[in-house]
Amino acid sequence: MRKYSRLWHLPGAPMLIIGGTAARIGHGVTIIAWLLLIREIDGNYATAGLVSGAISLATAFAAPVAGRLVDRYAAARIVPVYAVGYSLAQAALLIAVLQDAGVSLLLPLAVLTGALFPPMSPTLRSAWSHVTRPEGEHSALRTTAMAAESAVFELVFVLGPLIMSMFIVLADYTTTDPTVYGAGAAITFATVTTLVGTIVVCRGRLIQSLGTEVASDKTIGVGPLGFPAFLLLLTVTAGVAFSFGASPVAIAAFATAGGEVSGGVTAGVLIAVWSVGSAAGGVVYGALPLPLADTAGTLTKRLLVLLVGLTIGYAAWNIAGSSIQLSVVLVATGAVIAPAVTVLAELVASTVPASMITESYTWFTCVNMSLAAAGAAVAGPVVDGPNGPALGFWLCAAATAAAIVAAAATGALTVKRAAVSA
C-alpha cells in the first residue's frame, strides 16, 4: 500500500478523499430514502418511482452543462453554488412530499433537485487528473488516484443504504411512523452533508488550484464530443452502465424467486456484497506495480481484459444454485468493476484536452445514469418471464459484450492515430 501512502501525503489529497466521501455520502442515502418516504406517504411505488426517476434523469442530462461551467469558470466558484441550490431544492421537495403534494408539484421540484446536483465526482476526477498529469512530478500516482476515487464512489453506495436504515431503526424507538420520520431524517442528513462537504472540499488547495490551471481556456461547440475516441469511450460506458442497471434487477429476481419475504433482505445483501467486491478490487488495482507511463494503447488493452472478465462473470452468475454461491461469484465479478472504471477515467484524461476534462467526466455521468435506468427498465420485463433471473444475467453479459466491441474499436483508432503521429 506504499502508493496509497504517497497519494495521501500529497498536499491537499486528504481533503479530496475524506471531504469528497462526506460530500457524496448523501447520494447513496437519498436513492432509496426518497422511494421509501414517498411510498409511505403516497401509498404506491408508481409516484415514488416517477419522482426518483425524474431526479436521476435530470442529474444525468444536466451534468454536462455543469461540467462546462466548471471548466470555464473554475470548480471553486461553480460547485458550491450548485450545492446551495441543490440543498434548497431538496428541502423544498421534502416539504412538498411531507405535505402530500400532488405529482404536478413533485415532478418539477424533482427535476430541479436533480439538475442542481453538484458535479462533485467529475470535479474530483478532474482534480486528480491535473495533480497527476503526465508532465508533473506525481504522474506515477495517476492510476492509484483514479482507483482510490473509484473505490470511494463504491463505498458511498455501500454506506448510504446502511445510514438510511440506521435512521429508520432509531425512529422506530421514538415514533409510531418510523419509515416517514427515518427516511425524512436521512434525506435531511444527506442534504446537510452534501452542502457542507462540497463547500469544504472546494476550499481545499487542489480544487482552488484547478481553477487557475484550466479556467483560461474556454470550450465552445460540442466540446469533448468532437473527439471520435471519446465517443467510443462513451459507447463502452453505455454498455457497462446498461449492465449495471440491469444487474440489481436480475439479482433481486434471483433472491426472491422462492417467494419468501426474506428474499428482499437477501437481495439487498447480495447487491452490497457486489459493491464491496468492486471497492476491494479498486483498492488492489491502485496498489499494483503498473508501468509509470501507460499509453492509451496499453490502457485500452487493459480495459479489454477487464471487460472480458466482467462478461464472463455475468455469465458465471448462472452457475450459482444458491444465494451463498452467488455471493461468492458476485465478489469475484465485482472485483473487476472499479479497475475498469479507473481505466476508463485514465483514458478520458489522455483523450481530451485539460480544458474539457470536467465536462468529459460529466458526460460519463450522463451516460451512466441514463443507461443504467434503461437497463433496469429493460430487465424488469425480462426477469418477470420464464427463467427470468438467468435471462437477466445473460442480458448483462450481452451488454458488456457490446462494450467489448466498442473498446476494440477504440484500440484500433488509438493504434491508427499513433501511426499517423509517427
Domain ranges of the chain: 1-218, 219-422
Look at residue 420 in the predicted model and tell me its pLDDT: 45
Whether 1-218 and 219-422 share one fold: the answer is yes
Grid coordinates representing 348?
478520458
- How much is the CA Rg of the chain, to the nearest whole Å? 21
- Say how far residue 386 (Cα) sits from the centre of its chain: 31
Q: How far is CA 154 from CA 247, 318, 348, 418, 419, in A?
A: 15, 24, 20, 34, 38
CATH for the 1-218 domain, from 1.20.1250.20, 1.10.10.10, 3.50.50.60, 3.30.1490.20? 1.20.1250.20
**Do 48 and 39 form a contact (C-beta atoms < 8 A)?**
yes
Assign a CATH topology to domain 219-422: Growth Hormone; Chain: A; (1.20.1250)
**Do 339 and 285 form a contact (C-beta atoms < 8 A)?**
yes
88/94 Cα distance (integer angstroms): 10
**Do 114 and 61 form a contact (C-beta atoms < 8 A)?**
no
Give the mean pLDDT per block of 10 residues along the chain (422 residues). Answer: 88 90 88 84 79 88 92 91 97 95 93 95 91 83 89 82 84 84 92 95 85 53 85 94 89 73 64 86 88 75 94 94 90 91 89 87 90 86 85 95 93 60 46
Look at residue 261 in the predicted model and tell me its pLDDT: 42
Look at residue 398 in the predicted model and tell me its pLDDT: 97
Look at residue 218 in the predicted model and tell me its pLDDT: 58
73/121 Cα distance (integer angstroms): 17
Write the DSSP symbol of residue 135: T
If one counts every other C-beta atom within 10 angstroms of the C-beta of residue 65, the result is: 14
- Residue carrying C-alpha cell 462537504: 197
Look at residue 267 in the predicted model and tell me its pLDDT: 73
Q: Under 8 Å CB-to-CB from 292, ≥6 apart: which residues?
A: 139, 140
- Between the two ends of the chain, the Cα-to-Cα distance in Å is 37
3-state helix, strand, coil in the chain (%, to 5): 85, 0, 15
**Do 128 and 144 form a contact (C-beta atoms < 8 A)?**
no
- DSSP output for 288-301: S---SS--HHHHHH
Residue 259, by phi and psi: left (phi above 0), alpha (psi -120 to 50) or beta?
left
Amino acid symbol at 102: G
Look at residue 113 in the predicted model and tell me its pLDDT: 96
**Do 313 and 332 form a contact (C-beta atoms < 8 A)?**
yes
Look at residue 198 in the predicted model and tell me its pLDDT: 95
